A and B are shown apart, each in its own frame.
Chain A
Amino acid sequence: MRFVLDPPDPSTVDDLVREAHHAAGLGFDAMLCRATPTLPASLVTAAAVLARVPVLRVVAEIPLGDQHPLLAAEEAAVVDVAGAGRLILLIRPAPGVEERFLEAATLLRTALRARPFRFTGEHWTVPANLPTNNDHEDRYRMMPAPYQPRMEIWCAGVDASVALDHGFGHLADTGTPAEVLADSSTDPLRLDLARARHDPWHGEPDPLVDRLRAGRSQFGQDWSVVRADAEGMARIAGSVRPRIQLDRLPEGLADGWADGWADRSRQDQA
């Protein structure tokens, strides 16, 4: 199980970077960057975080369907190269143009494949070959290529089955019923796709451990997005994650884990 920190809304970039450093230090796999009124372009924010926190991945949430998907692909590719392959792109339907989302997502992924392509869709055609433009090309190649060989892309705001059927990982919002996410498919291609969920954190490890075990069992959950402060992060790192990585731990192993990490958290904050 991998863990993504959803930080409390930062008021400054220093707050965000502090949270990111703390998460990285505790072994979190990634931090979520989403648009806020102060920081509306999450990929610009992601670039800044990736620059200052060398080992952490960043999950950058962007709306898709309003601006040209090719431009979104370029921005993601540049941020991924600058961050040496540590970007996870989380796409969500842009409000008001939800009907364009799947076409936009397909064009985005096509562009990120790092080879010349031609895309013909209802809303976008690349290259457009507009009669008034000269130098028509049959195909277009987006550059630079992402540094990852295959850009990790998750969908949110759509059904899991829709995301998976189109070859994207899926992030389920908090409160999504398990039966909606349940997936008994053994298709190896589907098993390669990320299954993530926002999981509530109320300070106690046991309920989260139980929820994650159920998620893994019901729909193959392998990423958990949690909102937690510094102490919460320490408890998750010290008492949740160690207990969820294997199906079963030897009896007695986990005894006392919680106290140890609580001590460490207090030391870190001292």
Chain B
Amino acid sequence: MSASVEPSVLSRIGLSLWTMQSTARAPAHPVELYRRLARDAAVVESYGFHSLWTGEHRGWYDGWCPAPIHALSHAAAGTTRLRFGTAMLLLPQHDGASVTAAARTFDALYAGRLELGVSVGYRDAEFDAVGVRRDQRGRRMDPALAELFAGGVPASRVWIGGMADAALARAARFGCGILLPQTVRTRRLRQIIDMHRDAGGGPVGITKDVHVAEDATEFRRALRAHFREEIGSWWTLRGQQGFQRPGELATQLDRVDDSAIAGPAGQVADLLGELLVEGVDFLLLRLCYDFLAPQQLHEQIARVAEEVAPLLESGGSAG
């Protein structure tokens, strides 16, 4: 199962996004979902990837994991080297002292293997559940970050999620990395990287939806259905919930589709390689979705490690 050669490019690739969702389209037992996270972590480590990442949302019907560091603490127990990340921990919804304690505990248990991705969050219902004003989310970020750093969490392992000017400025101000979303366009990517470097920010990472397949039609169909649920339920499009704006919803799904990298290994390698040429330091590849069966996910992990990574390493595609 393990790759016989471990290209160095794998040290710049993390895999995501384990959410432990039991969705209507892909129901699963919650205990089994957390067991899969642990099993998948061992698989990801065996191939030599940099890291495995989970996310955070709360109060959703499918059990989207609301406590990512706690979930990762369970999963990391079967690993020795793999790093674990949060993409993203919704910092303004938390008490800074609690997040600091959780991060420090994880690092003490697992020899500093936490990559703490944080962002401001966006769902009103989540803010309201914990009694926080959504319009103050930005103002809550800086004090919370300061508390993290004062508590011993190094800025070098904190990633600010987002691409808004405020997020970029925050990352530069604190010397953190920036973790960009899937839909950043290439021209904007170069601008961001240049600004971030000039301002003294940390590494630049980018999330991408990725799938290796000779025919990615079925994947793209499933990806649209997956994000339709999320965008339709959670996003406000032109003042209304996404499902109430079918035209705008379709536009957003087109953006997701367009930004996804799905196709044969050579094509995937070429597109990921372009990101590295543009100056991206870290690739966070989303391979894990509720609609992929465990065996399908493991196949994707293997294909990225054994087919895509060598092509990235050599700087060429298969043809």
Contacts and interface: CB of A to CB of B under 8 A. Distances in A.
Contact of B70 (A43, A124, A126, A140): A43
A95 B109 CA distance: 25
Chain A contact patch, size range: 35 or more
Given A84-B31, A125-B131, A143-B62, 7 more contacts: A51-B77, A67-B95, A74-B67, A78-B34, A127-B128, A140-B129, A142-B66
B95 A39 contact: no
B130 interface: yes
B109 A79 contact: no
A52 B93 CA distance: 30
B289 interface: no
A111 to B, nearest CB: 10
Contact of A66 (B62, B64, B95, B104): B95
Nearest to A49: B77
B256 interface: no
B95 to A, nearest CB: 4
A71 B124 contact: no
A143 B60 contact: yes
B42 to A, nearest CB: 11
Contacts of B98: 41, 66-67, 71
Contacts of B133: 130, 132-133
Contact of B128 (A13, A43, A45, A129): A129
A133 B65 CA distance: 23
A203 interface: no
A147 interface: yes
Contact of A70 (B30, B63, B129): B129
B97 interface: yes
Interface in B83-119: 93-95, 97-98, 101-102, 104-106, 108-110
Interface of A: 13, 35, 38-41, 43-45, 47-48, 50-52, 66-68, 70-71, 74-75, 77-79, 81-85, 124-130, 132-137, 140-145, 147
Contacts of B241: 135
Contact of A41 (B58, B94, B105, B132): B105
B167 interface: no
Contact of B109 (A48, A67, A74, A141): A48
Contact of A45 (B71, B97, B105, B135): B105
Contacts of B58: 74, 142-143
Contact of A79 (B20, B70, B77, B94): B70
Contacts of B64: 143
Contact of B73 (A44, A85, A144): A44
Interface-centre pick from B64, B97, B105, B133 (highest chain A CB count, 10 A): B105
Instruction: Name the 5 nearest CB pairs between A and B, nearest first.
Output: A51-B77, A144-B63, A67-B95, A47-B73, A82-B74
Contact of B20 (A45, A124, A144): A144
Contacts of A84: 31
29 contacts: A13-B109, A39-B105, A39-B108, A40-B105, A41-B101, A44-B105, A45-B109, A47-B73, A48-B76, A48-B110, A51-B38, A51-B77, A51-B78, A66-B98, A67-B95, A68-B95, A70-B129, A71-B94, A75-B67, A78-B71, A79-B74, A82-B74, A130-B127, A130-B131, A132-B133, A140-B129, A142-B58, A142-B59, A145-B30
A99 B89 CA distance: 30
A134 B109 contact: no
Interface string B42-71: 000000000000000011111111110111
Given A130-B133, A133-B134, A71 B95 contact: yes
A126 B58 CA distance: 13
B27 to A, nearest CB: 13
Nearest to A40: B101
Contacts of A47: 70-71, 73-74
B125 interface: yes
B127 A133 contact: yes
B159 to A, nearest CB: 20
B286 to A, nearest CB: 21
A127 B125 contact: yes
Contacts of A124: 131
